Amino acid sequence: MTFVIIKAIHLFAAFIYGGFLIVDNLFLVHIRQSYTEEEYKQIRESFMKYVRKVVPPSLLVAVITGLYLITQVFGPIDKEGMSSFQMMLSFKAFLGIWLGLRGGLQVYGGIQPFYFKSHLLPFIFVVTIIFISQFMYL
């Protein structure tokens, strides 16, 4: 029962983070074209005021619960090496941990990324994690 509850929390937190990235990369980008730069900055800041309260904690919850879930489903590594499930889960975990470290250091540590300043790479990572999630059980 604990596994199911933590998985539900994980999915909810991941939906919040992924939903923000979808809105930011697919919708807010186009708002810039419809408004002046000053209006766009006001709209984006209004949006980000609420995002900053909800998204960073939910990202950290998604990473922490994801790490717990991995310990429950990874299983032992055979003599032949990792199974395709374990390899995909490991890659998915790497992407999730990278997102968590980047987000946590940026928001809570005040460290701004040197190169990855947009949310495009995290968006690509989240989409990749979603696709891996759908294929790793095959």
Positive/negative CA dihedral, 20, 40, 106, 89: positive
Q: Rounded to whole angstroms, how far apart are CA atoms 3 and 72?
A: 8
84-117 per-position pLDDT tens digit: 999 999 999 999 999 999 888 888 888 876 666 7
16-54 per-position pLDDT tens digit: 999 999 998 888 888 888 899 999 989 989 988 999 899
Q: Half-sphere exposure (CA, 13 Å, Cβ side) for 102? A: 17
- Closest to 136 measured CA to CA, from 76, 69, 86, 70: 86
Model confidence at 62, in pLDDT bands (50, 70, 90)? very high
Model confidence at 14, in pLDDT bands (50, 70, 90)? very high
- Closest to 111 measured CA to CA, from 101, 97, 96: 101
pLDDT for 33 equals 86
